[in-house]
Amino acid sequence: MRYGVVRALAGGVMVLGTLSGCGMLGGNSGQVCTDTKKAFQQYITQVRGIPAAEPAQWRQPTERLAGRLDGLAKKADDADLKKALKAEADKLRAAAPAVGTGDVAQLNTVMKETPAKIGQACD
């Protein structure tokens, strides 16, 4: 199951990476979208380094990603982007406890949906 999440994460970052309209929103949205992509890339790097037999180690990076998205939401000038980042941070935070016990089903769902939702806000 762990590798399914990593594939979802990788695909999600690719979607975030192809955002074409980030700079068109005005304000600081372009930078916030770029920083969001970087946060996901760093998360993927962290979780790929965790042995499959140690799923409890995924909880802390998942909570950190949620915190970073919250921080980016606070920085965002665009209301839709702010709302999307906050919503995805809440979902990640809710998935973190289960990830710590080895249940990645909720995280997998979040990671499949998050890039599209944030991508819509960035376009």
- pLDDT tens for 54-84 read 878 888 999 999 999 999 999 999 999 999 9
If one counts the domains in the chain, the total is: 1
Looking at every residue in the chain, the average pLDDT score rounds to 80
Give the integer Cα–Cα distance in Å for 123 and 117.
Answer: 10
The percentage of residues in the chain with a pLDDT greater than 90, rounded to a whole number, is 30
Angle of helix 79-100 relative to helix 59-75, nearest 10 degrees?
Answer: 170
Tell me which residue range forms the domain holding 17: 2-122
Q: Which residue has the higher pLDDT, 23 or 101?
A: 101
If phi > 0 it is left, if psi is from -120 to 50 it is alpha, else beta; for residue 26 that is left
